[in-house]
Amino acid sequence: MQEREQFGKPIVDFQAVQIKLADMLMKVEASRLLIHRAVFNAANGLPDILESSSAKCFANEIAREVTTTAMQLMGGYGFNKEYGMERKVRDAFGWGIAGGTIDVQKVNIASAMIGRRFNQRAK
């Protein structure tokens, strides 16, 4: 991003880009905290479907958002395999499927919140 210029200066010098970068960092850190808490509790014998599904769902949605935003900020470089961002975007979307889609995680969250399991195959 420091190589990419607009109006003769690096795009990273623009406040709008700086704000996006700060937002991206805060969201990634929030995701990490949710994941660390879920892992810590599971490792200490306190696994919780609400906590683990919330962490997976939120982290994946943020991964998709952040990688897509980063790709847009990079412009044409974001699509170039040499820089690796296109791979990160694909991975972020792929992890949304592995281990249960985002929608399945949200059903798990709702089930845990109201204390009953939903039949996802009901007709």
**Could you give the angle at the alpha carbon of 36 between the alpha carbons of 86 and 34, nearest 5°?**
75
Q: If pLDDT is split at 50, 70 and 90, which confidence band does 44 have?
A: very high
Q: If pLDDT is split at 50, 70 and 90, which confidence band does 118 have?
A: low
Q: Assess if residue 121 is contained within a domain.
A: no
- Overall domain count for the chain: 1
Q: Assess if residue 52 is contained within a domain.
A: yes
In the predicted model, is pLDDT for residue 122 greater than 80? no
pLDDT single digits (tens) 7-35: 889 889 999 999 999 999 999 999 999 99
In the chain, which residue ranges form alpha helices assigned H by DSSP? Answer: 15-43, 49-74, 85-95, 102-114
Neighbours of 59 (CB within 10 A): 22
Q: Assess if residue 123 is contained within a domain.
A: no
DSSP string across 87-118? HHHHHHHHHTTTTS-HHHHHHHHHHHHHT---
Rounded mean pLDDT of 93-120? 84
In the predicted model, is pLDDT for residue 109 greater than 60? yes
Q: Assess if residue 119 is contained within a domain.
A: no
Residue 88: name the closest of 72, 61, 73, 67 by CA: 67
Q: Which residues contact 42 (CB under 8 A, 6 or more apart)?
A: 48, 52
Rounded mean pLDDT of 100-110? 89
The enclosing domain of 107 has a CATH number of: 1.20.140.10
Whether the predicted model's global pTM rises above the 0.85 cut: no
Domain of 98, in residue numbers: 5-114
